[in-house]
Amino acid sequence: MRKIVIPTDFSENAMNAIRYAMELFKYERSEFLIFHAYADEVYDHNTLVSRKIFDELKDSVHKNSEQQLSEIIKIIKQVSPNPRHTYTTLSTFGTLIDEANDIVDKENTDILIMGTRGKTNDRKLTFGSNTLQVLKYVKCPVLAIPSNCSYHQPKNILFPTDYLMPYKRRELKLLYTLTKSFRSKTNFLHIASYDHLSMRQEDNKAFLENSLQGTELEFHREESENLTAAINEFIIKNKIDFLVMVNSRHSYLENILYQSTIDKIGLHIKIPFLVMQNLERY
């Protein structure tokens, strides 16, 4: 049974991510938990002048959240009824990151799926601030779905890696299941000016090959001083329709995500983006 968590801010981008998730796991027995964290809506409201008003507003936002979550389940069951899927909802007074981490830990979640942007939908930014925080800090695989990205089977996957970190079997099993189900090809991209790999890199590469045995793999090396430009170029040149990266200390992805400001991120993607975490789960 696949356990899938989907945060929502009730935007069209969030609904698009829900629709994508339903299709991606259409043939798997899956439990979906759709949740809304609403603390910021209450604290940031401009009418907070007393504790009484705060409590009234909190109660009002909670009721509205519950109602909108119920509407989402109705839409799902009308648009995509699936006997393999079960749904629960959660409306919680907390911040997105804290609640997401609590949920994925408590539920032992396999994957969290969300839109790359939320209600603000600033088209100049690749990732909204909430999505960026989730990609950085939530301790389970995160699949970010760009706005207006409609579902089709992922056939040509890009996995940039420097082979310097060990990988987690559980998360590679998730990738294996997807690639096996859709008969996808995984392209490993090593951006380096040299052919030679260290023994650590060779062992990690062999671990990848072994974990994804029985699926189509292709290994590439590109020379570039600009990591994000090389990834963007490879995506276009090779018609990539699904991007996978790993988040850990000193990884390719850390170099991209931990820029000083969101708008400095040069990874302009219009395809689903799966971030596998090498962060410890407690």
Domain-wise residue ranges, the chain: 2-145, 156-268
Mean pLDDT value across residues 241-259: 69
Span 39-66, pLDDT tens digits: 988 888 777 668 888 888 899 999 999 9
> What pLDDT is recorded for position 280?
55
CA distances from 242 to 26, 68, 85, 275 (A): 17, 30, 24, 11
Q: Name the CATH architecture for the domain at 2-145.
A: 3-Layer(aba) Sandwich (3.40)
Which residues, including other chains, have CB under 8 Å from residue 137's CB and lie 6 or more apart? 97, 101, 279
Closest Cα to residue 157, out of 143, 140, 170?
143
Per the structure block, which two tokens stand in for 77? 């069951």
Cα(36)–Cα(90) distance, integer angstroms: 6
pLDDT at 229 over 90: no
* Max mean pLDDT range (168-177, 251-260, 265-274): 168-177
Find out whether 226 and 234 touch, Cβ atoms under 8 Å: no
Find out whether 68 and 41 touch, Cβ atoms under 8 Å: no
Cα 268 → chain centroid: 15
Residue 147 is classified by DSSP as: T
pLDDT-based confidence at 255, cuts 50/70/90? low
Structure-model confidence comparison of residues 236 and 277, the more confident one: 236
CATH class of the structural domain 156-268? alpha beta
pLDDT at 246 over 70: yes
pTM above 0.85, yes or no: yes
Domains 2-145 and 156-268 share a fold: yes
Sheet (strand 216-222) strand order: 85-92, 30-37, 2-7, 111-115, 142-145, 273-277, 242-247, 156-160, 185-191, 216-222
Per the structure block, which two tokens stand in for 260? 């000083």
pLDDT at 124 over 60: no
pLDDT at 207 over 70: yes
